Amino acid sequence: MAKILGRVHSTIREELERVPRYELVYSATWAHGDYLRKQQNKGNVRKLDRDITLRSAVIEGILGDKSPEQISKRIKKLGKTLGIEGTVSHETIYSFIYSDCEAKEKELYNHLRRHRKNRRKQ
């Protein structure tokens, strides 16, 4: 079958494995729908959404009127002693400030050097 379709045999096997055990007939429409569901559920979870201690350290730093660059360097330097696993870049912090619902509610952008509500494109 793989030679006829011009595909590698493992591709055909993986596609046929998508069929649920209770189904006896392969359905391309069902397989495609399954693929789309898996893509939606995969999601890209941001680092600050996964790690609560890192998130609270970032919020605390912003509320203390520190710049995202200062927060990033402080976490990188003192993170282990503060009980924080991992690091975070200043770009991730800016992304968090301008896109996260909780950050917008707390108006964290007001604690930045330039109190811009929306981020400027460069």
pLDDT at residue 104, as a whole number = 73
List the structure tokens of 82.
């503060």
Q: Could you read off the pLDDT of 17-71 as tens digits, one per residue?
A: 777 767 677 778 888 888 888 877 776 777 888 888 888 899 999 999 899 999 9
38 in the same domain as 53: no
Average of per-residue pLDDT across 5-22: 81
Q: Could you read off the pLDDT of 28-37 as tens digits, one per residue?
A: 888 888 888 8
59 in the same domain as 105: yes
Q: Give the chain's domain count.
A: 2
CA distance 31 to 20: 9
Enclosing domain of residue 34: 2-42
Query: What percent of the chain lies above the pLDDT cut of 70?
Result: 90
pLDDT at residue 72, as a whole number = 92
CA distance 19 to 30: 8
